Amino acid sequence: MLLFLVGIAILILGYFTYGKFIEKQVMPDDRLTPAVKNPDGVDYVVLPQWKNMLIQLLNIAGVGPVIGVILGIKFGSIVFLIIPIGNLIAGATHDFLGGMMSLRDNGANLPKLIKTHLGSVYSRIFSWFMVFLLLLVVAVFINIPAGLCDGVFCPETKQFWWFVGIIFLYYILATLFPVDKIIGKVYPFFGMMLLLGTIGIFIALLIAGFKNPVLLTETADFRNYMFTAEHAPVIPLLFVTIACGIISGFHATQSPIVARTMKSEKQARATFYGMMVLEGIIGMIWAGAGMAIYNLFPKMMVGSPNAALLKITTYFLGEWMGLITVVAVIILAVTSGDTALRSTRLCLAEMLSIQQTAIRSRILLCLPLIVIVSVLLWWSNVSTKSFGFLWNYFAWGNQVLAASTLMAAAVWLFKQKKNGFVALIPGMFMTFIVCTYILWTSPVHKQAYGFGLPVDIARLIGIGVACLFGFFVWRRVKKTDTI
């Protein structure tokens, strides 16, 4: 119980201390923002700060801070420390620097930022990799909420594909219409539902935890079912499993959406750094709820995290409030999927130099995206195994984006004679994590296909690759200085 509360306290204090320190490295000022300089009525539209904060929160908070941490808590109570420390040093720093780079570059999307700071060769590979990853995100965030809707609302009749069609149609409309017409209107309502559901879980968890502190500790029964180091080493697997609570490269694809709707740079720390910290708090609450429910029903640890989610909500909140909370989780997925598709459109438009003010241009650009996502949806539902592959490849690909964004931010800061180490160190760490995971993972470890090397060898190679990327950043900075 104490470790759980300490972790939440670290996040809150970290926002006012380390968050302020990171802000000082960039020094937001009174220069005109992209929305003020170049309003276009579609993507560049000034929105109120509170609305931008809710949009950013819902954009970045997919199912990771709920489903991801319910799965991740099986690593044990160490998660209560890794989430807040990783969130402050890596995740929130990543989101803030990514958002500020976009603000200072007329709301540029991630491919352009990568090209500017890491070079055109790296950018060519990265940009198309990112577009494909975003399409994977869209497919994943249609699958999961459709599955939850089917299980909650139609457990007998099974209307999964109807829910897929409804959610996909909403994504398409949210992608095509101006940002203030759909996203700006519905997100505040969605955000309030999410926060109310999470607060309800937190209060119920505190009451249960104070009555029985053992619920938030590793009991003997919990240890019998928790992940073992043989098949689930904390490094690298934990940092791939709990992406959204600690660090997620997907966030860097979303921040430009809000960077194009901000009135002032001085809103950046609350909007980018602060919303990632809030996502970390949400993740901590659901991780605590997961540990409590696994202590009460240990055999659920070998089942689906979706089943654990439904059990958490009904056990702690009752049937009706639990239903509202599940709806809030569904909203989490939906409100990341819609902006993932929108971000894909914006990135492709930027990469291909296609203006987006005309609805016809937006429709033509979206048509091939709709076809690709439809194929991914079909393939991912052929079997449970195929969806597992989809999720695993999304998970490590997501952290490739995170490492790349942090490396670009390090170059950006060093070129301005600022402290680039605040981005370089977590960037090198995430490079190490991704490389180690790809080299280690294999079906033998009940994971996606990889090289299947022993974890110690994978880690050594991962350290070497991370050092090479650090050298690459140094070379980029030196090359820029000599031009």
Q: What pLDDT score does 469 carry? A: 93
Full domain range(s) for residue 321 = 2-392
Mean pLDDT, residues 79-105 taken together: 96
Residue 463 lies in a domain: no
The pTM of this model reads 0.87
CATH number of domain containing 188: 1.20.1740.10
C-alpha span between 288 and 275 (Å, rounded):
20
C-alpha span between 45 and 35 (Å, rounded):
5
pLDDT tens-digit map of 53-80: 988 887 787 677 788 888 889 999 999 9
Q: Which of 76, 45, 79, 77 is nearest to 65 (CA)?
A: 79
- Give me the amino acid identity at 298: P
Beta carbons within 10 angstroms of residue 474's beta carbon? 15
Residue 430 lies in a domain: no
Q: Which of 389, 474, 471, 398 is nearest to 434 (CA)?
A: 398
pLDDT tens-digit map of 178-223: 655 665 566 667 677 777 778 888 998 999 988 888 889 998 888 8
Q: Which of 469, 468, 350 is nearest to 404 (CA)?
A: 469
If one compares 253 and 157, the residue with the highest pLDDT of the two is 253
Residue 127 lies in a domain: yes
Residue 425 lies in a domain: no
- Give me the amino acid identity at 143: N
Percentage of the residues of the chain whose pLDDT score is greater than 90 = 40
pLDDT at 483 over 50: no
Q: What pLDDT score does 181 carry? A: 62
Mean pLDDT, residues 85-114 taken together: 94
Q: What pLDDT score does 426 carry? A: 96
pLDDT tens-digit map of 21-39: 999 999 999 999 999 998 8
Mean pLDDT, residues 307-325 taken together: 79
Q: Which of 403, 421, 432 is nearest to 477 (CA)?
A: 421
pLDDT tens-digit map of 384-432: 566 566 667 777 888 999 999 999 999 999 999 999 999 999 999 999 9
Residue 441 lies in a domain: no
pLDDT at 132 over 90: no
Q: What pLDDT score does 397 carry? A: 85
C-alpha span between 138 and 340 (Å, rounded):
6
Residues 6+ apart with CB under 8 A from 60: 95, 244, 248, 250, 251, 254, 275, 276, 279, 336
For residue 313, what are the CA distances in angstroms to 209, 296, 326, 335, 364?
16, 14, 7, 20, 42
Q: How many separate domains does the chain show?
A: 1
Cis-peptide, bond into residue 39, ω within 30° of zero: no
Residues 6+ apart with CB under 8 A from 202: 285
pLDDT at 315 over 70: yes
pLDDT at 480 over 70: no
Write the DSSP assignment of 376-402 as a string of letters. Answer: HHHHHTS-HHHHHHHHHHHHHHHHHHH
> How is the chain split among helix, strand and coil, in percent rounded to 5?
80, 0, 20
If one compares 191 and 40, the residue with the highest pLDDT of the two is 40
Residue 423 lies in a domain: no
List the structure tokens of 8.
């939440």
Q: What pLDDT score does 285 carry? A: 93
Where is mean pLDDT largest: 298-307, 368-377, 468-477?
468-477
List helix spans (H) across 48-109.
49-60, 69-72, 79-86, 92-103
C-alpha span between 74 and 85 (Å, rounded):
18
List the structure tokens of 295.
């202590």
Chain centroid, CA 51 distance in Å: 19
pLDDT at 107 over 80: yes
pLDDT at 243 over 50: yes
b/e per residue 309-330 (b: at least 16 CB within 10 A): bbbbbbbbbeeebbbebbbbbb
List the structure tokens of 37.
């300089």
CA distance from start to end of the chain: 56
For residue 168, what are the CA distances in angstroms to 180, 186, 240?
19, 16, 26
pLDDT at 325 over 50: yes
C-alpha span between 263 and 245 (Å, rounded):
27
pLDDT at 481 over 60: no
Query: Are the beta carbons of 11 and 87 closer than 8 angstroms?
Result: yes
C-alpha span between 127 and 111 (Å, rounded):
5
Cis-peptide, bond into residue 236, ω within 30° of zero: yes
List helix spans (H) across 416-454.
421-440
pLDDT tens-digit map of 339-359: 778 778 877 887 787 877 777
Residues 6+ apart with CB under 8 A from 230: none
C-alpha span between 338 and 171 (Å, rounded):
4
Beta carbons within 10 angstroms of residue 121's beta carbon? 9
Residue 21 lies in a domain: yes
pLDDT tens-digit map of 133-171: 888 778 877 887 888 788 777 777 678 888 888 888 888
If one compares 103 and 372, the residue with the highest pLDDT of the two is 103
Residue 181 lies in a domain: yes
C-alpha span between 108 and 36 (Å, rounded):
15
pLDDT at 320 over 90: no
